[in-house]
A and B are shown apart, each in its own frame.
Chain A
Amino acid sequence: GAVVSQHPSRVICKSGTSVKIECRSLDFQATTMFWYRQFPKQSLMLMATSNEGSKATYEQGVEKDKFLINHASLTLSTLTVTSAHPEDSSFYICSARKPGLAPGELFFGEGSRLTVL
C-alpha cells in the first residue's frame, strides 16, 4: 500500500522560531498534497492544498505568510510555521492522493505534534 511519511512526529520550539515539517510520499508521486490542522478533540481542518511546481492554495482564514508551503518535488511537500507562537501549537497532518485512485482515497501521514513554548 501507499505510504506517506511525515517528519518530525513531535517538535517543541520556543516562541518566535520557525519550524519545518516534511511530508513525503514514499512509493508514489503526488502532484497534490494537503495540509490539515487538528486541535484536541476536534476534527481535521484543511489549511492548504500544496501543488507541485506552483503556489499553494490556502483556505480562508489561513495566513500564507505564517504557514509557508513548498512542494518542490513530486514526493515532498514542506510546511514551515514561521515565527511560531503558543497558539500555533497543534497537530499537523498531511495527506496525498495516489494517481489513479478516486478523489478522497487519500493517504495520510502520521502527523506532527507541534508545541510552542
Chain B
Amino acid sequence: EDKVVQSPLSLVVHEGDTVTLNCSYEVTNFRSLLWYKQEKKAPTFLFMLTSSGIEKKSGRLSSILDKKELFSILNITATQTGDSAVYLCAVVLVWGAQKLVFGQGTRLTINP
C-alpha cells in the first residue's frame, strides 16, 4: 500500500523561529514529491521535487528530496504569523495518471 507520512503532526513555535517539516514515503512508483500549503480552504502549490539533493527555494521556504532514504524536508526560516497553516506533502505516482497520495499534514502555528 502506498503511504506518505508527515511529522510532526502539529508544531507551535514563536515568530522568528526556523522550522523543519518532515515527509517520508513508501510507494510503488514514485514520480515526484509535492509540498502544499493549506490555510483555510484550497491547498496552494509550493514545490515539486523530482531529483535527489537539489534544493528548491522560494523566499524563506526551501525544500529538498532524498530518494535514497525516501524522504523530504520543508524548511521555513524567520517564521511569520502568516506562515501558520497546514503543510501537506504528496507523492505523484507514475501509475494512475498523476494520482497523488497525500500525507496527514503538519499543522504549523506561529505565535507572535
Residues of chain A having any CB pair with chain B under 8 Å: 4, 9, 32, 34, 41-46, 49, 93, 97, 102-111
Contacts and interface: CB of A to CB of B under 8 A. Distances in A.
B64 interface: no
B41 A43 contact: no
Contact of A32 (B43, B45, B48, B98): B98
Given A46-B99, A110-B42, A103 B92 contact: yes
A49 B107 CA distance: 27
B41 to A, nearest CB: 4
Contacts of B31: 103-104
A20 B99 CA distance: 23
A105 B98 CA distance: 10
A93 B42 CA distance: 7
A43 B92 contact: no
B102 interface: yes
Given A43-B104, A102-B32, A104-B90, A111 B42 contact: yes
Contacts of B104: 42-43
Contacts of B43: 44, 93, 108
B101 A105 contact: no
22 contacts: A4-B42, A34-B98, A41-B107, A42-B105, A43-B88, A43-B102, A44-B90, A44-B102, A46-B99, A49-B99, A93-B41, A93-B43, A103-B92, A104-B48, A104-B92, A104-B98, A105-B34, A108-B43, A108-B44, A110-B41, A110-B42, A111-B42
Nearest to A59: B99
A43 B100 contact: no
Interface in B77-103: 88, 90, 92, 96-103
B41 A103 contact: no
